[in-house]
Amino acid sequence: MKRFLWITLVVIFMGLLTLPFWLNEERLVLKPAEISSGGKIAQTQSGFTHYQLFGKEQDPLVILIHGFSVPSYTWDNTVPYLVASGFRVLTFDLYGRGYSSRDHSRYDRGLFIRQLNELLIELNINDKVSLVGLSMGAAIVGGYTSEFPHKVSKVVLLAPFHQPIDIGPLKYPLLGDYIAYGFVVPSMADSQSEDFVEPDNYPLWNEKYKSQMQYEGFRFALLATARDFLQTDPMADFRAIDQFSIESMLLWGAEDKVFDIKNQSLVSDALGKTNKSITISNAGHALHFERANEVNPLIAEFLLSSDNQNETRSSL
DSSP 178: H
94 vs 139: CA distance, rounded Å:
13
Give the Cα-Cα-Cα angle 69, 199, 279 (nearest 5 degrees).
75
The pLDDT of residue 32: 87
**pLDDT tens sequence across 257-300:** 999 999 999 999 999 988 999 999 999 999 999 999 999 999 99
Ramachandran area for residue 227 (φ above 0: left; ψ -120 to 50: alpha; else beta): alpha
For 98, counting Cβ atoms within 10 Å of its Cβ (0-12 exposed, 13-18 middle, 19+ buried), the class is buried
Q: What is the pTM of this model?
A: 0.92
Output the pLDDT for position 27.
87
Say if residue 6's pLDDT is above 60. no
The mean pLDDT value of the chain amounts to 91
Report pLDDT for 2.
Answer: 58
How many alpha carbons lie under 13 Å from residue 37 in its C-beta half-sphere?
24
pLDDT on residue 308: 41
Task: Tell me the pairing of strands 311-314 and 275-280.
Answer: parallel
Q: How far is CA 258 from the centre of its chain?
A: 13
Residues 6+ apart with CB under 8 A from 220: 96, 102
